[in-house]
Structure formats: C-alpha cells, structure tokens
Amino acid sequence: MEIRKLNFKKNSVRALGDKTLQQALHYTTERFTSARERAKREFGELDNLREKAREIKRRTIENLDDYLEILEENVCKAGGKVYWAEDAKGAVDTVLDIARKNRVKLVVKSKSMATEEIELNRAIEGEGIDVVETDLGEYIIQLANERPSHIIAPAIHKTKDEIARLFSEKLKIPYYKEPELLVGAIRERLRATFLRADMGVTGVNFAVAETGTIIIVENEGNARFVTTVPRVHVAIMGIEKVIPSFKDAAVFLSILARSATGQKMSSYVSFITGPRRNGEIDGPEQFHLIIMDNGRTRVLGSEETRETLYCIRCGACLNACPVYRKAGGHSYGWVYSGPIGAILTPQLIGMDRALELPFASTLCGACREVCPVKINIPKILIGLRRRAVENGFHKNVKEHLAMRIWRFVVSHTGVYDILTSLLYVLQHPFKSDGKLRSLPLFSQWTRYRDLPVLKIPFRKRWKRLTVNRGPRG
C-alpha cells in the first residue's frame, strides 16, 4: 500500500471544477436519497429496525472475539477453511497462497470493499494471474485503473460516453451509444470469463456465526456466478462483519437494501455455507474464509469511536452528506469516502496520513439521520479532531495561536470589551455599503461572502432596554 498523505482539500477543489463530475454526483445522490426516502415512507418499520440493528451490532462488537470463534468453528464444520489476517499483507498473502496451491490462472471477483482496501487486484496481477472484476461498476474502475468513488456505486463519476469508450479501448468491444447494447456485450464477455475462471473472490456482507454462513448481497447476479462456477471460493471479511444468528440477518437484510438503493430487497442474496457438498450439482470444491483485522482492533480499542465498526457499508451517509455531494469520493483519497470514510480512514491508516478528513465536515448530522445502524458520525468526527489536536497531529501554528488568543479574550470581560470596541473602530476603513467586502485575515471568508460589520454590542445596549422597557416593545 502506498504510504502517502491524502490531500482532501486539493482534491476537492479539483472536483468542484469538474462539471461532469458535479452533475453525476448531483444526479446519483439525489436518486439514491429519494429512493431511500420512498422506501422509508412505504416501510414504516425502518426506524424501529434501525434501533434493533444498532443493538445487535453493539452486542456483537462488545463480544466480538466470542462470535468470531463461533463463526470459525461453524465454517470449519461446514467444510470450509478459516484464516486470520492481521493486516493487508497477511490477507493478500493468504489469497496468493491459495491461488498458487490450486494453480489458478484466472480469478473472477465480485464487488468487495475489503479487497479494495488491501489492493488485492494489483497483488494477484503481480503474481502473473489474471483477475477480472465482474460487478459492472467495479469492472469499469478496474479497466480505468481507478478507485471506487462511492461505496455501492463505484463508477458514478464516469459518464456513459466515457464508459463506452473505455470498453472499446481496453476490451475492443464496439463503441455503443446505447447502454443496453453495451451492457449486453459486456455480459457476453463476462459469461465466457466466468466459465474459464478457477477461483472466485468475494467480500462478505454478513457472516452468521451460528451456522457459519456468509451472506452476499448484490443486484447483478455476478456474485452468484463467482461463488458457484470456479473450483475455489475465497471470501474476505473484516472482523466486524460477523453477526450472531440468522434471526439477526433478517433485520439487516430488511434495512440494508432500503438504506442503500431504496429497494425492499436486493435482486440477489446468496447464503453460502461451506463448499459444495456430496450430491450437490454446483458450488466450489473449496471454500476459504479470510477474517481480516487490518487496523480494526485499534478501532475496537477506543470506546469513543468503536461504533465506527457497526457500519454495514450501505452508502446512505454518502448520499446525504453535503460535503460528499460536492467533493465526490475520490477526494477522500482512499477506498472509503463520505462520512464513513472521514471517520474510518484516519482510524485504519493513521491520523498522520488522513489528518484533513475529520475536519472536512460541517457536522450537519445528516449522515447520522440516515445511517441504518445510527452511528453517531458527528460525535466521532469531533472525537477524532480532538485526538488530532491533543496527540500533536494537528500542527497548524496559526490555528493553535488563534485558539489561545480567543480563549484569553473571551475569558476576560475587560479585554473582550476593549478588543471589540477597538475592532469596531478599526473596521471603518474597510466598510462599504454597511458591509465588509474584503478584510485582511478574513480573506477565506470574504473571498466568497460579504461579512457583516461589528455593531455596538447588545451587552452595551441592554441597559437602555431595561430603562425603556425595550424598543418596539
């Protein structure tokens, strides 16, 4: 993994200048948001279930080690194999190991944020093995050599035209203007690929501890192909994906699709318990489950931010977020974007690399309002800001100084009065038309907005109000 500092601000300014991207962001987030709202209206239970879902996650995360052990036991009982990966490298090595042992030449993948996180494709290709993403959006960004820009719709930043061109350039598929024709042609290609593949790699939406079943939710049917046709199936999950029982799964399945796309249920929900059994006609010969930490136990260790791990990756917070809607996913610099990215990324890859992210929010709370597991994202953002300041990551000298001065001034009424009176006088030369149109030290404000002028403060007018019993009163 590249150790680079993410540069949110620079990226976001670039994104703001990209008209096509702005349109795409507007269109997609509006569409998802209104679909979710409709689903919420039609299904009155959503809020109750959110509370339930949160409680299940809380209980599970508090007893994570127990549930993971139960999961391991039951996956093994069903004939699968379980591996524990401490970090990205461990997970990648395990996949490569399994691939080598089985003389794999072609890997097909379904959409998975965990494999994005560990940059699995690059590693597989480095081994001389072909790998093909089979979710359309993921396929697009694989060909374009980019990162997903939305958790559930990875290629929303691309236009139809760009996509058609990409496929004709990289795969020699004829350039189709009509999306249906293009998708038809891609599907044909993918079918052939599925039949040749020796290994399928997937993520995991939920892993049911009591039965050792992994659940995969999707809309294109590609994940079902990936998990049934190739000889070997490798599934990769973060430790937080385990849930205790099937009953719990019912709760999550009722809220996941509704929160993500507004669907009642995704088109395909696969329940996979171990490899093909005797007498069954399809399914892989081997089933491997990699359970990955990659920084998650660090999150688990902090009571303040632990609930970050409740996330079920529905993407609703992205659609609701005013900042994401303008900055787009790539501005966040790593695989996870939007509000969940702003809290997860610094915790997984380190505050030093992702310092800007917790600050890149207006704290409007729209994310929390839509989150199916009610993660208190604004609170975690503030907590991470505090961590950044108190642990010395936030080194902006000017801001530290400004805070010190501000604290001193507002703590001493005399100083406060003198300073505000002084500024009241000093602002005169800058006034125009009763406003401040540009002001040194405040240029970041006045670049875009006028600033009101300082008035005689209320605290000095109060006496008069007491005597006269108020103006207009």
Partner 1 sequence: MEIIRKGPYIMESKKAYLFVTCLVDNFFPQVAESAVCVLRRLGIEVEFVEGQTCCGQPAFNSGFWQDARTVAKRFLSVFDREKDGFIVCPSGSCASMVRIFYRELFEEGDKEYGSAVNISKRVYEFSEYIVNVLKETDVGAFYKGRVAYHGSCHLIRELGIREEPIRLIRSVRGIDFVEMKNYDVCCGFGGTFSVKFPELSAAIVEDKIQSIVESGADTLVSTDMGCLMHIGGIISRRNLPIRVMHIAELLASR
Q: Which of 354, 360, 371, 373 binds partner 1 (CB under 8 A)?
A: 360
Residue span binding ligand SF4 (CB under 6 A) among the ranges 20-28, 87-95, 310-318, 451-459: 310-318
Q: Which of 154, 295, 315, 341 binds ligand SF4 (CB under 6 A)?
A: 315
Q: Any contact of residue 254 with partner 1 (CB under 8 A)?
A: no
- Label residue 51 left, alpha or beta by phi (over 0 means left) and psi (-120 to 50 means alpha): alpha
Q: Which of residues 331-370 bind ligand SF4 (CB under 6 A)?
A: 340, 370
Q: Any contact of residue 403 with partner 1 (CB under 8 A)?
A: yes
Residue span binding partner 1 (CB under 8 A) among the ranges 114-122, 282-290, 324-332, 342-350: 324-332
Name the residue among 340, 362, 354 with its Cα closest to residue 387: 354
- Rounded to whole angstroms, the maximal C-alpha distance in the chain is 94
Name the residue among 269, 393, 259 with its Cα closest to residue 314: 259
Alpha-carbon distance of 113 to 417, in angstroms, equals 54
Q: Any contact of residue 278 with partner 1 (CB under 8 A)?
A: no
Per-residue contact string for residues 372-391; x = within reach of partner 1 by CB under 8 A:
----x--x--x-xxxxxxx-
What are the helix (H) ranges across 63-144?
64-77, 88-101, 113-117, 120-126, 136-144
Min CB(242)–ligand SF4 separation in Å: 16
Q: Any contact of residue 312 with ligand SF4 (CB under 6 A)?
A: yes
Q: Any contact of residue 182 with ligand SF4 (CB under 6 A)?
A: no
What are the structure tokens assigned to 423, written together?
Answer: 């500024």
416-430 burial, b at 16+ Cβ within 10 Å, e below that, comes to eeeebeeeeeeeeeb
Identify which of residues 181 and 419 has a Cβ nearer to partner 1 in the complex.
419
What are the structure tokens assigned to 76, written together?
Answer: 């093994």
DSSP string, 193-249: HHHH-SEEEE--SEEETTTTEEEEEESSSHHHHHHHSSSEEEEEEEGGGEES-HHHH
What torsion do the CA atoms of 417, 418, 423, 424 make, to the nearest 10 degrees?
60
* Per rule CB under 8 A, count of chain residues that contact partner 1: 67
355 binds, among partner 1, ligand SF4, none (CB under 5 to 8 A by kind): none
Per-residue contact string for residues 7-46; x = within reach of partner 1 by CB under 8 A:
--x--xx--x------------------------------
Edge to edge, the sheet with strand 431-432 lists 431-432, 435-436, 451-452
Min CB(247)–ligand SF4 separation in Å: 20
Identify which of residues 11 and 121 has a Cβ nearer to partner 1 in the complex.
11
Name the residue among 246, 239, 247 with its Cα closest to residue 208: 246
Q: Any contact of residue 430 with partner 1 (CB under 8 A)?
A: no
165 binds, among partner 1, ligand SF4, none (CB under 5 to 8 A by kind): none
Question: Is the Cβ–Cβ distance between 192 and 184 less than 8 Å?
Answer: no
Min CB(336)–ligand SF4 separation in Å: 9
Q: Which of residues 133-172 bind ligand SF4 (CB under 6 A)?
A: 151
182: Cβ–Cβ under 8 A, 6 or more apart, which residues? 163, 164, 167, 173, 176
Sign of CA dihedral 391, 392, 394, 398: positive
Identify which of residues 307 and 356 has a Cβ nearer to ligand SF4 in the complex.
307
Q: Which residue in the block uniquely carries the two structure tokens 């975690």?
A: 380
Residue span binding partner 1 (CB under 8 A) among the ranges 36-44, 58-66, 244-252, 457-465: 457-465
441: Cβ–Cβ under 8 A, 6 or more apart, which residues? none
Min CB(270)–ligand SF4 separation in Å: 20
Q: Any contact of residue 107 with ligand SF4 (CB under 6 A)?
A: no
Residues that bind partner 1 (CB under 8 A): 9, 12-13, 16, 322-323, 325-327, 358-366, 368-369, 376, 379, 382, 384-390, 394, 399, 403-404, 406-407, 410-411, 413, 416, 420, 435, 437, 442, 444-445, 447-459, 461-462, 465, 469-473
Residues that bind ligand SF4 (CB under 6 A): 151, 311-317, 340, 370-373, 375
